[in-house]
Structure 1
Amino acid sequence: MDPLENGLFDLPDYEHTEDENFPPLPPPHSPGAGDDADGDDWTENARQTQTEEASKPIKRAVKRPQPKLDAMRLTSKRGLPA
């Protein structure tokens, strides 16, 4: 099966198409003296995040250890039956 015969590599001609026009991006928020008045205090936000994380319950892992199958254990009284 030849990909050139099936037209798999026929790409559209993008040379003569125009790009879309998008509105300009808004200016970035610059840090300044007026940040505290706006209520954008990063230390306050950090404290809120810490209290939210502290209130989550701690997940405990369930450990189910696998017995080691060495020669001593296998040939002992409690090991494999003969």
Structure 2
Amino acid sequence: MELYAEILARALSEQRIQVTIPGVDLQRLAEDTCCRALRDIKAILEDDTLSDETCFEKIEAIVRVYERLGSDGGNRHDFG
């Protein structure tokens, strides 16, 4: 089933799809979500309780922000 989902996801990603939800401004929703994510990232980077030696922890915290949005840290974050 996983292979089927991957094939379907790729096929859909190559298509132009327009999604509308009555009563919801999707562009504003996306912009608001992005602004909140940027604010969260800025707060993490400005956190003076994390020293330079804990740079990894800062990056990990930023990746977690993206994961909360349904994104990820990309291939470089896959430690398993």
Task: Return the TM-score normalized by structure 2.
Answer: 0.29
- Larger Cα Rg: Structure 1 or Structure 2? 1
Higher relative contact order (CA 8 A, sep 6+): 2
Identify, as 1 or 2, the structure richer in helix.
2
Task: Return the TM-score normalized by structure 1.
Answer: 0.29
